[in-house]
């Protein structure tokens, strides 16, 4: 089967919107369950269901032969970056408002711009670099550096976790650019779900009995290290929803970036920010502070500017190449 190239922007946008809706629901469900279950248990159950759904997608896209790859090491590193990004993000959710964590995570496009210079040899102009600086200033604003440790709303390390999630996500995206669109979206989703399962089993073997959570008070570290608990009948519905959502997210995001270029679809990821604000208000009565609103605006504005500049640059290059043929 011939691989799909970046030629269907409408479909790519539809997939990214569907993926972001699924991600926002996923984040809301994980925050909802974070008070009673360890993160590695939730990841294991979610990914076990998600990988089954992803295998269905593999079947319809060409069969198990799609899972063969000539770049196992690169795919493994990419999967590790995704796992690190997700784990950092979810651990932060246990202690911080959903909107705050989501906004800090959207520093990822700024990291992608910076990393593309040494890793891909791309040239970044003064205007994009200025936007990156403004965006990172928004990140610093949301960290509230003027607050002392006694008055801070959360542990400084916890506040940095969404930023770490953004950085590892950015490394993953840059690696994906470097690998190229040579693997089906369903296979990419299976690789990710498989790595999640391996990591969660490792956590269970080391900390599944909860011994490392004893005496801890920080909700983020308790969420990461508490003992496994058999889910109640009601919570099983949440876990099944998480699993199905996980399969949908992995497939939709991979498909979006296969069907269209990143500069076209990436700005639509920002619909996740107002959705996070909505879920936070609806379920936990969380209203972002003035500093958070300002930081959101700076990060979101800088990220959108970077995407738009990349799109303009791509158009200029395309016009130059067309003129060069005649």
Whole-number pLDDT of residue 154 = 62
- Whether the pLDDT of residue 147 is over 70: the answer is no
Domain locations along the chain: 9-324
Q: Is the pTM of this model over 0.75?
A: yes
Instruction: Record the tokens describing residue 7, joined without a space.
Output: 């030629």
The interaxial angle of helices 290-324 and 126-143, nearest 10 deg, is 160
Residue 151 has pLDDT above 50, yes or no: no
CB 282: neighbour CB atoms within 10 A?
10
Structure confidence at residue 322 as a pLDDT band (50, 70, 90)? very low
Confidence at residue 128, expressed as pLDDT on a 0 to 100 scale: 83
User: Quick one: what percent of the chain has pLDDT higher than 90?
Assistant: 33
d(CA 317, CA 185): 28
**Cβ density class 95-112: b for 16+ within 10 Å, e for less:** bbbbbbbbbbbbbbbbbb
* Confidence (pLDDT) at 325: 44
Residue 21 has pLDDT above 80, yes or no: yes
Is residue 235 within 8 Å of 36, Cβ to Cβ?
yes
Q: 133: exposed, middle or buried (C-beta count within 10 Å: 0-12, 13-18, 19+)?
A: exposed
The average confidence (pLDDT) of the chain is 83
pLDDT digits (tens, 9 = 90+) for 174-205: 776 666 557 777 888 899 899 999 999 999 99
pLDDT of residue 5: 47
**Confidence class of residue 155 from pLDDT cuts 50, 70 and 90?**
confident
What integer pLDDT is reported at residue 307 of this predicted model? 78
Q: Of the given ranges (12-26, 231-245, 251-265, 290-304), which has the lowest mean pLDDT?
A: 251-265
Cα-based distances in Å from 308 to 147, 312, 314: 35, 6, 10
- Predicted confidence at residue 314, as pLDDT, reads 62
pLDDT digits (tens, 9 = 90+) for 260-317: 766 677 778 888 889 999 999 999 999 998 988 999 999 989 988 887 777 776 666 5
């Amino acid at each position: 089967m011939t691989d799909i190239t970046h030629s269907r922007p409408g479909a790519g946008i539809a997939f990214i919107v569907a993926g972001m809706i699924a991600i926002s629901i996923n984040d809301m469900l994980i925050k909802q369950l974070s008070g009673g279950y360890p993160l590695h248990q939730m990841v294991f159950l979610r990914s076990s269901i998600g990988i089954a759904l992803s295998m269905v997608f593999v079947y319809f896209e060409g069969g198990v032969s799609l899972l063969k790859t000539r770049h196992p090491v690169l795919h493994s590193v990419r999967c590790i970056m995704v796992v690190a990004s997700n784990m950092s993000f979810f651990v932060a959710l246990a202690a911080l408002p959903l909107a705050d964590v989501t906004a800090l995570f959207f520093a990822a496009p700024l990291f992608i711009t910076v990393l593309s210079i040494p890793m891909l040899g791309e040239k970044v102009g003064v205007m994009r670099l200025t936007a990156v600086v403004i965006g990172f200033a928004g990140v610093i604003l949301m960290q509230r550096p003027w607050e002392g440790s006694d008055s801070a709303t959360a542990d400084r390390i916890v506040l940095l976790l969404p930023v770490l999630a953004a950085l590892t996500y950015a490394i993953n995206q840059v690696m994906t650019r470097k690998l190229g669109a040579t693997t089906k979206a369903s296979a990419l989703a299976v690789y990710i779900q498989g790595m999640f399962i391996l990591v969660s089993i490792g956590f269970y073997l080391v900390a599944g009995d909860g011994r490392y959570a004893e005496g801890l008070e920080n909700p983020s570290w308790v969420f990461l290290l508490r003992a496994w608990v058999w889910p109640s009948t009601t919570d099983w519905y949440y876990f099944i929803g998480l699993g199905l959502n996980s399969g949908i997210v992995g497939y939709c995001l991979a498909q979006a970036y296969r069907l269209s270029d990143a500069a076209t679809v990436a700005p639509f990821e920002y619909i996740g920010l107002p959705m996070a604000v909505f879920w936070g208000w609806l379920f936990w009565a969380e209203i972002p502070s003035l500093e958070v609103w300002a930081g959101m605006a700076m990060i979101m504005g800088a990220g959108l500017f970077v995407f738009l500049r990349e799109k303009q640059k791509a158009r200029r290059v395309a016009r130059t190449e067309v003129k060069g043929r005649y």
